[in-house]
Structure 1
Amino acid sequence: MDDQLMADVQTTSPAPQTVQGTAAPTLPPLLLGTYTPKIDSKGRLALPAKLRSQLGPGLIMARGQERCVYLLPQAEFRRIAMQIQRTSLGDKAARDYLRVFLSGAVDQEPDKQGRVLVPQMLRDYANLGTDVVVIGVGTRAEIWNSKAWEEYLAAQEQGYADMADDVLPAVGF
């Protein structure tokens, strides 16, 4: 990793916080919920206030899986990109993923009304029209075409119960 990139990571990484006398890393925001804002005729999306405060003053939009758009706080985006880059030189799949992921990523800063421009490239990728759904998914949010989200959620409903047996024991729930 070059010195400038390492310096950028060090200056943008959250500082450790002291918890009962021990240094612990700052946890990223926990993005939750389902919201139904609209995309206006200029391609702007009014971010839900709660998500806006958690995403911070600047955020990254990128191609997501299943044809959605990821919204990531800058620090989380850097963490993901760096993690992929660590493996990408020797792993063709990681190189390919990194190329697609980073080439479709844009940094955005909400305007005074809390709106961000969703670039045409990302609107086309996720088939985003006026009606969208924004969901919180832990360390990121996702923007979905409303109809695609409804179909995805309906298709996952039975599997959701079945997946619990596999996923929840792994997290000690």
Structure 2
Amino acid sequence: MLIGTFTPKLDDKGRLILPAKFRERFATGLVLTRGQENCVFVFPRDEFLQVHENLRRAPLTSKQSRDFNRVLLAGAHDELPDKQGRVTIPPILREWARLDRDLTVIGTGSKLEVWDTGTWQGYFADAAASFDDAVPEVVPGLG
């Protein structure tokens, strides 16, 4: 399971060093793509294949489905970490997420999200404020 929060730096070549605890999970490859709220999603390759299969089941007659597919897949990039666990975040995704040097990487269970640290801090402050109220709607039985 991919969980936790990490604060790596983006190097001058646009590379992210994956947190050591996740490197084995991504050793066979990963897919980076646009995420909601202007972050970058990082899926293990096998997990992304499942996401893609679910997307294929969406009705072609739905404009919302077509739009989502286009945005997600047009920004997708296959990567294989190097021996040091580094992956290049393509310029199109760095621009999407407004990534500079300071990053926050969070594990969300089945994927990682890469955020500009300032953007993450603002998002988290807002999300944390409504955290208690969301439990019954988001996770039935947890509250």
Q: How would you bin the TM-score normalised by the shorter chain? A: over 0.9
TM-score by length of 2: 0.94
Residue number in structure 2 paired with 1:143: 114
2:95 to 101, 104, 124: 124
**Any conservation in 1 of the 2:75–2:93 contact (CA below 8 Å)?**
yes
**Any conservation in 2 of the 1:46–1:114 contact (CA below 8 Å)?**
yes
Q: Pairwise CA RMSD of aligned residues?
A: 1.1
Letter of the structure 1 residue corresponding to residue 50 of structure 2 = R
Aligned length: 142
**Which structure ranks higher in relative contact order (CA pairs < 8 Å, sequence separation ≥ 6)?**
2
Residue number in structure 1 paired with 2:49: 78
**After the TM superposition, which residues 5-24 of structure 1 pair with which residues of structure 2 at under 5 Å, given as runs?**
none
Query: Does residue 134 in structure 1 map to residue 112 in structure 2?
Result: no
Cα distance change, pair 55–88 in 1 and its aligned pair in 2 (3 A)? farther
**Any conservation in 2 of the 1:62–1:69 contact (CA below 8 Å)?**
yes
Letter of the structure 2 residue corresponding to residue 62 of structure 1 = T
**Would you tell me which structure has more strand in proportion to its own residues?**
2
Letter of the structure 2 residue corresponding to residue 68 of structure 1 = C
CA shift for structure 1 position 55: 2.7
Query: Counterparts of 2:87 and 2:57 in 1: how far apart (Å)?
Result: 31
Secondary structure of the residue that 1:116 maps to in structure 2?
strand
- List alignment gaps of at least 5 residues for structure 2: none
Letter of the structure 1 residue corresponding to residue 13 of structure 2 = K
- List alignment gaps of at least 5 residues for structure 1: 1-29
Output one character per residue of 1:47-73: Cα deviation in whole Å (capped at 9) or x when no partner: 001122223320000000000000001
CA shift for structure 1 position 143: 0.1
Letter of the structure 2 residue corresponding to residue 137 of structure 1 = T
CA shift for structure 1 position 165: 2.9
| Runs of 4+ deviating beyond 3 Å | none
**After the TM superposition, which residues 1-173 of structure 1 pair with which residues of structure 2 at under 5 Å, given as runs?**
30-168=1-139, 170=140, 172-173=141-142
Q: Taking every aligned residue pair, what percent have the same amino acid on both sides?
A: 44
Query: Counterparts of 2:53 and 2:25 in 1: how far apart (Å)?
Result: 22
Structure possessing the higher radius of gyration over alpha carbons: 1
